[in-house]
Amino acid sequence: MNNFDALVRMVAAGVLMVLAGTVAAQQAYPDRQVRIIVPYAPGSSLDVLGRLVGQKLTESWGKPVIVDNRPGGNTVIGSEALVKSPPDGYTLLLVVNTHAIIPNLLPKLPYDAIKDFAPVATVTSTEIVLVLHPSVPANSLQEFIALAKSRPGKLNYASAGAGSTTHLSAEMFNMMAGVKMQHIPYKGAGPAITDLVGGQVQLFFTAPIVTIAHIKTGKLKVIAISGETRLPSLPQVPTFTEAGLPGFDVKVWYGVLAPAGTPKAIIERLSSGLAKVMAMADFKESLASQGMEPFVSTPEQFGALIKADVSKYAKVIKTSGIKMED
């Protein structure tokens, strides 16, 4: 055997050792702590969901799964942190529809919202509720629309950030109801809810998960919910259609992303792990009590959903004329 043949065999052996090590590492995944980045402040619906998912994955895997809040920049800060992380499955990102909205509002993002991420799975979906501070003199949707029309630009609505689903929901309401309300953006639903309960803003279109506790204690009042049917956890609340505003239909999805380049075997391990969590009876009960339901999808289906929503929200934003500075 000449020197060249020996070199080839050494290289081949080295490659096989690397591949074997990689396969072994993927099969052992996870063998240490997993971090879920939440691009909003603590107290947001995404934060609450992230901690619930993290707890269930920890129980299932026997390895700690923690939440890392990275608020700011309309989810850009958290998303960029994921893109810069090693594609090994140990850093993930929990996202909401906003991930598909922001590219239409910020064309100069430090990442590509599709190419730089590996879809893992959707986790849950929810409707949107319209909640008011108790001081607002309206107890039904029609009373609130009449009030808003009588006070153009005087009612302040909170959002989880410019360009968020909560922002677009309010602007859709402005157009459909023929009213004009003032936008007050926050770094997530948590700070927005705090100011709403404190009376600094008058209303919020948001997920039930961050409002139900305040609704039940009387700190907030809810007058309508999106979707075709009422929520079992809020049976007294009519849908927007029932309340006289048909066509106002906003559904929010939540899902998990990994950095682009994450091995397929790890993506599949993550996806199956999340599917197992979503099948747990106590997890489904926790979601239902917060007005949410499991939303199971494959990585391929989630990727297709993101692409479809980027296109859908582009049309909404163009029609409404929403700008990031609004």
Mean pLDDT of the chain: 89
176, 113, 110: which is closest to 316 by C-alpha? 176
Query: Residue 277 pLDDT > 80, yes or no?
Result: yes
Q: Cis before residue 259, ω within 30 degrees of 0?
A: no
Which of 51-55, 159-163, 183-187 is the least confident region?
Answer: 159-163
Output the pLDDT for position 41.
Answer: 86
Give the bridge partners for 258, in sequence order: 118
Task: For the chain, list the domains and their CATH numbers.
Answer: 31-125+253-320 (3.40.190.150), 129-225 (3.40.190.10)
* pLDDT digits 0-9 by tens, 279-324: 999 999 988 887 788 999 999 999 999 999 898 888 878 877 777 6
Question: Are 105 and 324 within 8 A, CB to CB?
Answer: yes
Output the pLDDT for position 291.
Answer: 79
42, 35, 108: which is closest to 65 by C-alpha? 35
- Strands 34-38, 65-69: pairing kind: parallel
d(CA 127, CA 296): 16
Output the pLDDT for position 19.
Answer: 43
d(CA 74, CA 124): 21
Read off the DSSP letter of residue 125: E
pTM for this entry? 0.77
The more confidently predicted of residues 80 and 9 is 80
Across the range 87-113, mean pLDDT stands at 93
CA-to-CA separations, 198 to 158, 161, 194, 227, in angstroms, rounded: 12, 19, 6, 28
CA-to-CA separations, 106 to 74, 75, 113, in angstroms, rounded: 10, 11, 11
Rounded to 10 deg, the angle between the 299-320 and 264-278 helix axes is: 80
Encoded tokens for 95: 């996202």
Exposure b/e, 133-164, CB count within 10 A at least 16 = b:
beebebeebeebbebbeeeeeebbbbbbbbbb
Which of 18-22, 93-97, 160-164, 237-241 is the least confident region?
Answer: 18-22
- Strands 292-294, 117-127: pairing kind: antiparallel
d(CA 287, CA 278): 10
Band of residue 233 on the pLDDT scale cut at 50, 70, 90: confident
Output the pLDDT for position 21.
Answer: 44
Helix (H) or strand (E) holding 91: strand 91-96
